[in-house]
Amino acid sequence: MSSIDQKIVGEVLKPGMEIINAALLPTIEKVRRWAVEKELKGKLDGDALSLIIERYLIKLSERVREITSITFPQLKLDIHDAYEPLYMVRGTHFDTSKDLITADELVSSPSRPIVIVDGAGMGKSTFSKFVVARLLFKSDRIPILFDLRKLDTKLDIIDNVATELDFPDEKFDRKLFYRLLKLGKFYVILDGFDEAPIDYQHLLANQLHEMSVKGGQNAILVTTRPQEITPDLINATSLRFAPFTLEQALSLLSRYDKISGLDVGKKLSKEISSVPSKFIESPLLVSLLYRTYGVNNSIADKISTFYDEIYHALYKGHDLINKNGYARQKKSDLGFEDFRKLLRALCHYMMLRMKTSFKSLSEADSFIGNAAKISLAYPSSTSNFLDDLLVAVPLMQRDGTEYKFFHKTLLEYFAAEYIIFNECSLSLLGKIFESPLAPSFVKVFEFLNDMNPVLFESVITQKFALEAKKARPNENKQVNAINTCRFIYNFKIGLWAVEGNSESIEREGEANYDILGGGIHEEGRLNTTLWKNGTLNGVRFFLAFAFSNKHEKLHRLAWEAISSEYPDLLGPSRNDHIFDGLEKIIPIGKWVSPTSKIIKDLYSENVAINELFMSALDDESFGEISGVRMLDGEKIDVFLDKIKSRSSLDIEMKDFL
C-alpha cells in the first residue's frame, strides 16, 4: 500500500453496517405499517414484507454509501464526507440563484416526474446515489436506483427495474412488485439515459413515457446528458444543475484535505483567484484540479491538460505525498508510450462499439485484444493490461462483475487522442462525424477541439459555416431570428383560437391559466411547441410554433463559432399581443410549413412574431447556452477566410516539398 493510501485509510473508516441497519428501522417500520393499511396481507403480511424490504434496503444502502473519485483512485469514499451537494434550477435562463432546488426538495416533492439534463462532469451518477441516501432515511418510499447503461434490451424498462430487488438466491415476487408499483410505493431513479444503447433509446423513451403515464403515484427521476433523444415524461419537471460556485469548489477542496490529511486544498484555495473560472464549473474539474495541483504544484492552462497530467501521474506512480513517485510494476510490460497507444485504441474501439464499460472479464479481454491489433502495442496478456488499468495505472475500477473507467470523460479523452494521433486524422474524424455514431462522440469532439482546434474547425465547424452562409444572416434582428430558425430547425407555425383549443392549468397561489391543447402539439408532429398569447380581431388566440432540430450533429462549439449571443433581446413573456393581420399570412386552425412567401411576409415588424422566433432560439433543448443566439454573418466570413488562408498555406508548403 502506498503512503497516500496508508494515510487515508484511517480517515475513511466508518461505523459498521449495524449502525446503518438501525438507522433504517424507521423506514422499514413505515413500510410494514403501510403494507397493513393497504391490505397486502392477502399476498404477503406486513412483517414478512418488511423483512424482504429490509434486506433490499441494506443492500442498497451499502451500494450508495460509498463513491469513488479519480482524486483517490484506490479508495472507496464515504458519500457524506466526499460529496459536495449540488443545487438545481429549472431548464430556463429566467431562473436565478433564488430559485435553487436541493436534493431534499426532490425527496419530499410530490410524485411528479423529474428529468435532469446536464453535461459531463457535474456528477449525475453520484447525485443519484446521494438522492437515494437521503430517501433511505427521510422518506417512506422504496427507492430503486437503476443504471441505464446496464439495461437488458430483452426486457422492458419496468422488468429491468424490478431486477434491482432480486438477490442471487431469491427473486423478488413480480406480482408483488407490480402491486407495489400500482400503489405508488416506489421512487425510481434511472441514471444515464444517454448511456443506454443508442439504437434502443427511441424505444426506451417511449417505455419511460408509458411508465410515467401508468406509474400512478410513483416518483420517477431520470438523468441524461443533453442530446437529441431525451425521455418525454408526462407532466415532467425539467431541471439542470446550477453551475458549481466558488464556495462549493472551496468546500470540496476542504473535504479532500480532510480525507487525505493533506493541505493541498488549503494551498490551492490561496491561489484560487488565478484559476480560470471554467476549471471550477463542475465537481469533476475541481477533483482533477486537486489531483494535478497536488502532484505538480501548478495549474493547467487547458482542461485536456488535466487528463494528460492524470495519465502521467498515474503511470509514473506519483501520489499526493511522495513527490519522487513510486512506479508500480506494469504486468503488461508496456512502456509509457505503448501503454498509452493501447489505451487510446481501446477507448476508440469502445466508442465505436458504443461501450462505456465491460460486463465481464472475457468481454474486457476481447476488446483489449482487438485494440492491441489496432495499435500494434501488444501487452504480455490482455488480462495483465486490464490488471494494470485497475492497479498500476488505476484509470478503471471494478464494480461487481463490471469494469468501468472512473469517469466516462476518461474514455472520451483518450478516444479523442486516438483520432488526433491517427495518421489519417482528417479522414477518420470526417467519417465519424458523418456517421450515425456522431451524437455519442460529442464530448470526444470537445476534447479534440481543446487539443487540436485546427482539426475540429477543418472538419466540423467549416461544414456548418458553409451551410450558415447560405442562410443569409442579416443585421435586422427579426429577419436574422427567422433565418437562424430556418437554419437550425424544421418548424411549422399556426394560429388557434383559445376557445376549444386550450387546456386549463392550475398555478399554485394564482388563478388558472390556459395553455395550447396537447392535441395541437401532437398534430405538429415535431418535438417541441411554444406559443404566444394574444388577440386576433378582439378574440383570444394562440400564435404557435412547433419545431425540432434540423442539425442533430451541430456541435455546441461549432455553433458558438458561427453565432453570437444576444442576452437582452428576450424579456418576460407577454399575454397581450395583437395578432391582427397575421391571419392573412398564417392560416387559422392548422399547422403550416413556411413557404418562401410566408417567410418574406413574416419579416415585417410584428412584436409577436419577433418574440416567437426569439423564444425558439432560447430553447434549452438545442444546447447548454442560455440567452438568444443567432447567426453572425461577420463571424462566419472571418472564419471562412481563415480556413481559405490556411488551405492556401498548406498548398504553398507542399509546393516547397
For the stretch 543-561, pLDDT in tens is 999 998 888 889 999 999 9
Report which listed range, 7-16, 233-242, 244-253, is most confident: 244-253
Q: Label residue 41 left, alpha or beta by phi (over 0 means left) and psi (-120 to 50 means alpha).
A: alpha
Going by pLDDT thresholds of 50, 70 and 90, the confidence category of residue 96 is very low
Going by pLDDT thresholds of 50, 70 and 90, the confidence category of residue 574 is confident
**Mean pLDDT value across residues 227-251:** 87
What's the confidence (pLDDT) of residue 235?
80
For the stretch 161-200, pLDDT in tens is 999 999 888 888 888 888 888 878 889 999 999 999 888 8
For the stretch 388-403, pLDDT in tens is 999 999 999 998 889 9
Confidence check: pLDDT of 627 > 70: no
C-alpha separations of 31 from 111, 181, 368, 477 in Å? 18, 14, 47, 59
**137 phi and psi angles, rounded to 5 deg:** -115, 0
Residues 6+ apart with CB under 8 A from 22: none
For the stretch 298-307, pLDDT in tens is 888 899 999 9
Confidence check: pLDDT of 411 > 70: yes
**Mean pLDDT value across residues 22-40:** 56
For the stretch 429-450, pLDDT in tens is 999 999 999 989 999 999 999 9
Going by pLDDT thresholds of 50, 70 and 90, the confidence category of residue 37 is low
What's the confidence (pLDDT) of residue 509?
56
Pick 614 or 627 by higher pLDDT. 614
Residues above pLDDT 70, as percent of the chain? 85
Indicate the SS3 state at residue 54.
Answer: helix
**Mean pLDDT value across residues 458-467:** 96
Out of 38-47, 114-123, 440-449, least confident range: 38-47
How much is the mean pLDDT over the chain? 85
- E strands, 203-320, where? 219-224, 237-241
What's the confidence (pLDDT) of residue 24?
55
Confidence check: pLDDT of 10 > 50: no
Confidence check: pLDDT of 45 > 70: no
Range 650-657, long-range pairs (CB < 8 A, 24+ positions) = none
What's the confidence (pLDDT) of residue 16?
43
Do 253 and 54 touch, CB atoms closer than 8 A?
no
Radius of gyration of the chain (CA): 27
Cell of 298: 501548478
What's the confidence (pLDDT) of residue 120?
79
**191 phi and psi angles, rounded to 5 deg:** -100, 130
**Mean pLDDT value across residues 449-465:** 96
What's the confidence (pLDDT) of residue 350?
97
Going by pLDDT thresholds of 50, 70 and 90, the confidence category of residue 14 is very low
Out of 59-63, 309-313, 507-511, 512-516, least confident range: 507-511
Q: Which CATH class is domain 336-451?
A: mainly alpha
What's the confidence (pLDDT) of residue 621?
44
Q: Label residue 627 left, alpha or beta by phi (over 0 means left) and psi (-120 to 50 means alpha).
A: left
- E strands, 94-245, where? 114-117, 142-147, 186-191, 219-224, 237-241
Confidence check: pLDDT of 508 > 80: no
Going by pLDDT thresholds of 50, 70 and 90, the confidence category of residue 467 is very high
Euclidean distance between CA atoms 282 and 432, whole angstroms: 28
What's the confidence (pLDDT) of residue 424?
95
Confidence check: pLDDT of 202 > 80: yes
**Mean pLDDT value across residues 628-655:** 87
Confidence check: pLDDT of 9 > 50: no
H or E element: which one contains 35?
Answer: helix 17-37
Confidence check: pLDDT of 383 > 70: yes
Confidence check: pLDDT of 237 > 90: no
CATH topology of domain 3-241: Rossmann fold (3.40.50)
Going by pLDDT thresholds of 50, 70 and 90, the confidence category of residue 231 is confident
Pick 216 or 279 by higher pLDDT. 279
Read off the pTM.
0.83
Give the angle 301-306-307 at the CA atoms, nearest 5°: 140
What is the number of other CB atoms lying within 10 angstroms of the CB of residue 344?
24
Euclidean distance between CA atoms 150 and 192, whole angstroms: 10
**Mean pLDDT value across residues 525-538:** 90
Residues 6+ apart with CB under 8 A from 26: 137
Going by pLDDT thresholds of 50, 70 and 90, the confidence category of residue 265 is very high
Euclidean distance between CA atoms 381 and 376, whole angstroms: 13
**Mean pLDDT value across residues 400-407:** 91
**Mean pLDDT value across residues 153-161:** 93
What's the confidence (pLDDT) of residue 301?
85
Domain boundaries, the chain: 3-241, 246-315, 336-451, 468-639
What's the confidence (pLDDT) of residue 192?
93
**Mean pLDDT value across residues 495-520:** 81
What's the confidence (pLDDT) of residue 488?
92
Euclidean distance between CA atoms 632 and 57, whole angstroms: 55
What's the confidence (pLDDT) of residue 25?
57
**Mean pLDDT value across residues 486-501:** 94
